[in-house]
Amino acid sequence: MGKGGTGGGLRSRWVKVNGIKTHYMEAGGDGPVIVMLHGGGHGSSGQSGMGALMEALSPHFRVIAPDSIGGYGETDVSAPTPHGLLNRIDQARDFVDTLCLDRFTILGNSQGAFAAARYALENPERVEKMVLISSLTIGQCMGIEQAPTDAMRALMGYDGTPQAMRKMLEGLVVDRSKITDELIDRRQASATRPGAMEAMDRFLKATGGLNKHPILSMHMNLRDSLPKLTKVLPTIFVWGNEDPFALPETGRKLEPLLPDVKFHWIADAGHQVQTDKPDVVGDIIRQFVLGK
């Protein structure tokens, strides 16, 4: 397992996960473990999606955020994703097994929230608590429809340029000061590395076909399973009141479908609530996981 340095208390790590060279970020010490699954979009990664929240939580927890397969972060772009988003659950399972993580809180944002929920459904004995953050994917898998938004079009319209990256991030983060040159450069380096855009295209195409598949579509349907899971697994949902991607109306429709889940609505926060308001979200998570 290789080591690398980065600022802000985050540690860059590498590990072979089922033969796939996988990059992840780690912070904190020997406290309770939180595994964080980032959202989608070109150049997304554990650090880009979760870095600020990892720093906020590091005094209390050991926080770990892998870069997904499918062309994200620095994880091997050649990793197969024939089932698209469903392969993120396989990666999460193999990743935590490789790191010998027996029990942990699982957290996910956007498509990462779906991966977190699906992992918990398939491995309930491993998950102590669950934190879900602004997720249109979960809304859709619960039967909620939402029309395309400008933020969604910016995400899908990324063309490899820094200008398109900035426009995409402006659809995810409300606080423009958080969209730093360093963040854009890091996501650009990830998104435009050899093979990454092709890997993302394969991942998105496979994901788009899941709901048309007679068997795999059943794994995308959470209408019955997620309410049952959250009745026994302590779960919270965090949603940005200014989210232009997964609209607050979608979250409000989802809330009554998950009666055992406490929803936290965060003012002045967008789709990446944890980037806009890392300290606020960190306090909510700390109280939820530790009870204080």
pLDDT computed for residue 51 by the predictor: 97
Domain housing 269: 3-290
Domain count, the chain: 1
Q: What would the mean pLDDT of 30-49 be, rounded to a whole number?
A: 96
Residue 128 has pLDDT above 50, yes or no: yes
pLDDT of residue 3: 37
pLDDT at 160 over 90: yes
Angstrom distance (rounded) from CA 204 to CA 197: 10
The answer on pLDDT for 242 being more than 70 is yes
Q: pLDDT tens, 269-292?
A: 999 999 999 999 999 999 999 996
With cut-offs at 50, 70 and 90, classify the pLDDT of residue 4: very low
Q: What pLDDT shows up at residue 165? A: 96
pLDDT of residue 206: 97
Residue 93's CATH number: 3.40.50.1820
Give the model's pLDDT for residue 1: 34
How high does pLDDT run on average in the chain?
95
Please report, as a single letter, which amino acid is at residue 271: H
- In angstroms, the CA 20 to CA 56 distance is 29
What is the Cα–Cα distance from 74 to 69, expressed in whole angstroms? 9
Residue 144 has pLDDT above 50, yes or no: yes
- Per-residue DSSP letters for 120-150? HHH-TTTEEEEEEES-HHHHHHTT------H
Report whether pLDDT(164) > 80.
yes
Q: Are 41 and 25 in contact (CB under 8 A)?
A: no
- Which band of pLDDT confidence, cut at 50, 70 and 90, is reported for residue 8? low
Taking residues 68-84, report their average pLDDT. Answer: 97
Looking at the DSSP bridge assignments, the partners of residue 13 are 3, 24
Neighbours of 8 (CB within 10 A): 11
Q: Are strands 11-17 and 20-28 parallel, antiparallel or unpaired?
A: antiparallel
Mean pLDDT of 90-114: 98
* Structural contact between residues 91 and 69, judged by C-beta atoms closer than 8 angstroms: yes
Q: What is the DSSP letter of 234?
A: -
Give residue for tokens 């854009």: 184
Half-sphere exposure of 31 (CA within 13 A, CB side): 19
CB-hemisphere CA count at 13 Å for 24? Answer: 25
**Phi/psi-derived region of residue 71, left when phi > 0, alpha when psi is between -120 and 50, beta in every other case:** left
What is the pairing mode between strands 33-37 and 104-109? parallel
